[in-house]
Amino acid sequence: MENKLYVGNLSYKLTEDELKQAFTQAGNVISARIISDANTGRSKGFGFVEMENQQMAEKAIEILNGADLQGRAIKVAIATPMKPRENRERSPRY
């Protein structure tokens, strides 16, 4: 098991500091990042939290998976590596 967690169903108003604060009840948080749209800067409603070690990550899943955070039941799970994208052409940004 890893210590990097996927966190889904986040409120679009949640800040990275608030996300980090929510996870401190499970232990030391190394980093908390909310993913945002490259064009609009708006939150995509998910992010990643890195805990200090595997035990703290497991505790965070136990405590926070399904917990209410700003009116939304968040989903917390071990993050999986992103699959490579083949034959993907980037559209030009204007």
83 is a domain residue: no
8 Å CB contact between 3 and 56: yes
91 is a domain residue: no
- For the chain, how many residues are written? 94
Three-state secondary structure call for residue 19: helix
86 is a domain residue: no
18 is a domain residue: yes
- pLDDT the model gives residue 83: 80
Three-state secondary structure call for residue 71: coil
Domain range for 23 is 4-78
Q: Please, which pLDDT band fits residue 2 given cuts at 50, 70 and 90? A: confident
85 is a domain residue: no
Q: What is the DSSP letter of 18?
A: H
CATH code for position 24: 3.30.70.330
56 is a domain residue: yes
pLDDT tens digits for range 59-92: 999 999 999 999 999 999 999 987 887 765 665 6
